[in-house]
A = this chain, B = another copy of it.
């Protein structure tokens, strides 16, 4: 097999960047054998040149982006993250006819189509496997493995931080703040965890997957996004009594030519394919018209798993320089379907006796109450709580009933509403 030299300019040497340096060092011979590609990292952009970086050749380090972007490398790997200067770096690299690989989900969700179009215009390739679900080759599966399928739906646990926190709350019966702290201590949550726990990180990833799966652009504002801040240990206990776990699920489906997208907590029954996904793991369920239902499970983040995905793009591009535009410019229409499901509802109330009037409003709206319980203020709740499990009911009707409940004088805040998925 012919050997191809490939030199890489690396932008950023944080968690994933240093993982990539380690992985390239240790797999160089293996990759040469497997793919005929001889990889070399030729320059590394960092913010602080003096920071000790074990295993990284100091001679490659620079703090000046142009030293990477204007150097003679074949490919630029962008691991700086965020919007700017990452976006400008990538556009500069593409304009300089360098292939680009990135793990930057925020940038892709915001501007993926323009970046891909720029790559196509400059006849170079653009890889982003690492942007969703770390080491799980889900982008590749959608682009290549399932290319002959109309994708009907996607549902995934796309945020490892949320999943780790929910697992800790479930298994250690911890409250949210405590579980978040544990996640931060273990490196599974950022110092500012907002993007993760409010669902925006999962929403970005869902947008990237949905655009690939459904061949068009998804308007970000079409997504209903909820996080997990509201979930309490008591909710998880109730879920357990119902034979369920609570997971943060990002889901997209095609309904009569329009895409429905939703990100938020869900109660999953034990038989649900995503219910067994624990800790910082990720998983994606894909339903294609030819293959049926398929599950991909693995580590969704972390230094080496993400670097593994970056490396798979690097090798792929080294072996095959033909650009294929995986996303079209078509704007997908979106829809908010009126799904029916059982629901878990929790209402903050001034008086536990509110259980009567609340159940009454639900029943008057035709929503059958399967279980109802009231608790006095405790367990980290500021107010008393009324918890209700409904029979299967229409979302629209439930919204209307919740609006009616909110007007009761005894209501003490926004209720939690979590659908129960089979």
Chain A residues at the B interface, C-beta cutoff of 8 Å:
1, 19, 23, 27, 30-31, 33-36, 120, 129, 134-137, 140-141, 144-150, 215, 273, 276, 283, 288-299, 302, 304-305, 307-309, 311-312, 315-316, 319-320, 322, 324-326, 328
Contacts and interface: CB of A to CB of B under 8 A. Distances in A.
B319 A292 contact: no
Nearest to A295: B297
A216 to B, nearest CB: 10
A23 B146 CA distance: 12
Given A292-B299, A319-B324, A148 B312 contact: yes
B319 A305 contact: no
Most chain B beta carbons < 10 A, residue from A148, A215, A298, A305: A148
Looking at chain A's contact residues, the main secondary structure is mixed
A324 B36 contact: yes
A310 B123 CA distance: 28
Contact of A308 (B136, B291, B298): B291
The copy count of this chain in the complex is 2
A283 B148 CA distance: 21
Given A137-B144, A148-B27, A148-B315, A33 B294 contact: no
A291 B320 contact: no
A312 B147 contact: yes
Given A276-B276, A297-B297, A319-B322, A290 B144 contact: no
Given A31-B147, A145-B309, A276-B276, 13 more contacts: A31-B148, A34-B326, A35-B324, A135-B292, A140-B144, A141-B141, A147-B312, A147-B315, A148-B308, A149-B308, A291-B304, A291-B308, A294-B298
